[in-house]
């Protein structure tokens, strides 16, 4: 468990008084959060997770369960210097961030583009052939469609995407599980993976305050279109530390 493999700091801020930890989506990599990291550092120590099976960790096998993700990440983050911390996760990253929160108890949790852990849908995207898996990625518009037409790139990224989809689609519902920190949920009102009502049920998973922010006209990756507003939300959360 080498922290250098898991953690990326695009603008190191060792003297910062607070920390923001970012958890990428299924198939996503640390570079997705590069603009966000630059927006909040150096006032905040922005730490971005880099999962196995992508970019500079391409040679490593992907992780196939959310609990395995959470156990490994919790071990890495527990060794970080203590400072007030916000976790921010999008899509699958929200589920992982919640499970790590259950293990480590950060000060605040912000979840994005993900229905609450107590909700349940039957999804089997990870069982599709490569064409079917690619079709789902394009549907959610999380990766540049033109780039995904390149066979060589497809061969490289599909294993990580498939293992991530297996992890999130086989993760059981978590009714009744709560964390003690405040939770904020961000969702696009046109997100095909979660209704606003499903996102609102995150309130059932905290014993502290809860806040829901809905982005009108936003799809699953609303946070790229509304980057400024999302950064404002995170700045507000960090200011509360």
Residues classed as catalytic: 91
> Cβ-count burial of 95 within 10 angstroms (0-12 exposed, 13-18 middle, 19+ buried)?
buried
Distance (Å, whole) CA 44 – CA 50: 19
Contact indicator for 71, 45 with CB cutoff of 8 Å: no
Cα–Cα dist 91/25, whole Å = 5
H or E stretch including 161?
helix 151-169
Burial of 61 (0-12, 13-18, 19+ CB in 10 A): exposed
**Core vs surface per residue 204-241: b (16+ CB within 10 A) or e:** bbbeeebeebebeebbbbbbeebeeebeebbeebbeeb
């Amino acid at each position: 468990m080498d922290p250098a493999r898991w953690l990326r700091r695009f603008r190191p801020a060792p003297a910062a008084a607070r920390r923001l930890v970012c958890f990428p989506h299924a198939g996503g990599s640390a570079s997705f959060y590069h603009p966000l990291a630059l927006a909040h550092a150096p006032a905040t120590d922005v730490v971005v997770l880099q999962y196995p099976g992508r970019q500079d960790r391409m040679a490593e096998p992907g992780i196939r369960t959310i609990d395995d993700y959470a156990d490994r990440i919790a071990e890495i983050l527990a060794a970080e210097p203590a400072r007030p911390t916000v976790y921010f996760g999008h899509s699958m990253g929200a589920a992982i961030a919640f499970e790590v929160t259950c293990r480590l108890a950060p000060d605040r949790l912000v979840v994005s583009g993900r229905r609450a852990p107590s909700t349940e849908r039957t999804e089997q995207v990870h069982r599709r052939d490569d064409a079917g898996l690619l079709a789902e990625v394009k549907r959610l518009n999380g990766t540049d469609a033109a780039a995904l037409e390149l066979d060589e790139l497809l061969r490289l990224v599909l294993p990580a995407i498939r293992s991530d989809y297996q992890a999130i689609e086989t993760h059981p519902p978590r009714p009744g599980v709560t964390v003690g920190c405040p939770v904020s949920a961000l969702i696009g009102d046109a997100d095909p993976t979660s209704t606003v009502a499903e996102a609102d049920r995150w309130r059932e998973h905290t014993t502290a305050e809860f806040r829901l922010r809905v982005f009108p006209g936003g799809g699953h990756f609303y946070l790229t279109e509304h980057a400024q507003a999302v950064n404002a939300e995170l700045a507000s959360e960090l200011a509360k530390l």
